[in-house]
Structure 1
Amino acid sequence: MKRLALAAVVLLLATTANAQLLQYGIKGGINQTTPNIDNFKAGSYKVFDDKREIGYQFGAFARIKLLMIYVQPELNYSVQKSSVSITDNKGATSDGVKYEVSTLNVPVLFGFKLGPVRLNAGPMYTKNISANSAFKNFDGYKYSLNGSSWGYAAGVGIDLFKMLTADLRYEGGFGKQATLTGAQNSISVGKPGNVSLTVGIFL
């Protein structure tokens, strides 16, 4: 009986320790994207930032904790939306042209937690999935969405009631998101900046 009780206590302590060290859950929210295309030119075409739109994202996360320090890898599907103004090769300007890109993002965040408040930052890998791009209709230019790129993420968060978590985050990138290839030149479309607000649930 004593051995059985001891085994039960050891199992309970091990389960509690694992729960304190590892958490995981699902999350979702909204984002707002700033296209990196200010005063963009392709031949006689010109593109200007017009309006930031609200996109969405959802995914899963895990959090490995050690005292006040933690590591949090995530897997998120994101749809980033904006609209731009385009002056075409005939001089006509179209406003509100949609620019939408779907991505799969894998940030690995290193954070510090003090009470319910968290600070975190880390690298992020992005896999570009598809694009509904305003650039696809440029005569004489071929639009090619890059396969993947690297960037970074940084933000603040808060945990509430031992089951909810919320994050406000900025995500930036290095390099280009897409390429426009013409007969005379090749032009890069920079990776946009992205601000997101998400709410998650620990499972």
Structure 2
Amino acid sequence: MSAQIFSIDAREDGGAKLALNSKHDMHSGIRRISCELSPEGLLQLVLYAEALSLRQHLGHPAASRLSGDGLELFYDPAAPDLHVARQAGYSQQAARIPVAIFQAEMAGMTEICMTRAEASKHAPVLKQLLAECAGPEDLDQWLGQDDADLVLHQLREIAFLLLVREASICGSALGRKLRGKKTQDQAREAVRVILLELATELVPVSA
């Protein structure tokens, strides 16, 4: 048996502090992993957690890996735990955490990132364009209407976070399209492409 305490706390600068303490009955001592995440690092972690959650919800988990800010996560669908490693100089700390615990803690970070994204100047038009985008064909027939609506909602959330990040980059082509009255059709197409690419990657029926 093992015990884990996993926490992640948002910072005012948009980043977060991640901490994982774990103890296994077969080993003495406590393994500790602590890591400061940049705003981009936190966003990547949220996107990773959302993709993992969606695949599991659909019953099609897939091996996945995330690296950044000295932190590495690896998920193997054949195992119940998420592998977490922290590289600090020449030393590496490693531990495992049940996926359910990771996802429960990350839900709060998703809400925080969504709230921050919704405060961006491009948020209203992006949300409107995403709402106008249809989901993958036959999704409701494969999943049923209620489940299809939930999946499409989650795809739109992931797409929204990605699009806000892209539009906020200085000189962003997407940002220019969103601001221009004559380029709204181009912006709508860019949003549609992102949503369908995510569906192809994360939803088996659209592959």
TM value normalised by structure 1: 0.25
* Higher share in strand: 1
Identify the structure with bigger relative contact order (alpha carbons < 8 Å, sequence gap 6+): 1
Higher gyration radius (CA): 1
* Higher share in helix: 2
